[in-house]
Amino acid sequence: MLDKFITPVIKPLLTPIVATLHKLGITADQLTVAGFLIGMLALPLLAFELWYGALAAIILNRIFDGLDGAMARYAQQSSSAGGYLDITLDFSFYAAVPLGFILANPAQNAIAGALLLAAFIGTGSSFLAFAISAEKFQLDKPQFKYKSFYYLNGLTEGTETIALFIALCIWPQQFVLLAGIFATACAVTIFTRIHGGYHTLKQLESTK
């Protein structure tokens, strides 16, 4: 929901950093992989209840995630392969964070963590599946033209997810409550994406 507002603010801030990294010969794919490896450090850090260390890993991962896309555009390296690498590693990272909280306290966090993971699968699959059909119909991406594929909007997007992760690291004792609230919001996103996506595609098919 907030991505379309946050991204235009952040993108100009990344340009000087990207320009410097480009001069050093660093590629967008290298930034993607480096950010993923840093982000995955959050898993053991969370499992051992090193909350602020995990928070640092999460924030760095998100910085790298912004840098890789900015680098791809700056260096004109945008590609389907790079977009594929980025989104698959992103979702692996997203899944690792709830898993870390589950490992930290299985008795308390397992059910809420499982619900959160299920919600992530629903939100991810609902827009990735639509992206396949959007490519077929060559739909425009008016709000996310910088993305490698079509992003179907929703109540819970990247910005909201990272806000959740930050909140969980600051208030880990509230994991069950926060995960439950976010999973519910994800359920709304899943419903609206499936409903909107289905009817959009039906309408497009009827006009062909």
pLDDT at 170: 98
Q: What is the pTM of this model?
A: 0.84
- Mind listing the pLDDT tens digit for each residue in 80-117? 899 889 999 999 999 999 999 999 999 999 999 999 99
Choose between 97 and 202: higher pLDDT.
Answer: 97
Choose between 74 and 172: higher pLDDT.
Answer: 172
The answer on pLDDT for 122 being more than 60 is yes
Q: How many CB atoms lie within 10 A of CB 207?
A: 7
What amino acid occupies position 91? F
Nearest to 169 by CA among 45, 63, 66: 45
Q: What is the mean pLDDT of the chain?
A: 87
Residues labelled catalytic: 90
Contacts of residue 146, defined as CB under 8 A and 6 or more positions apart, other chains included, come to 7, 11, 69, 73
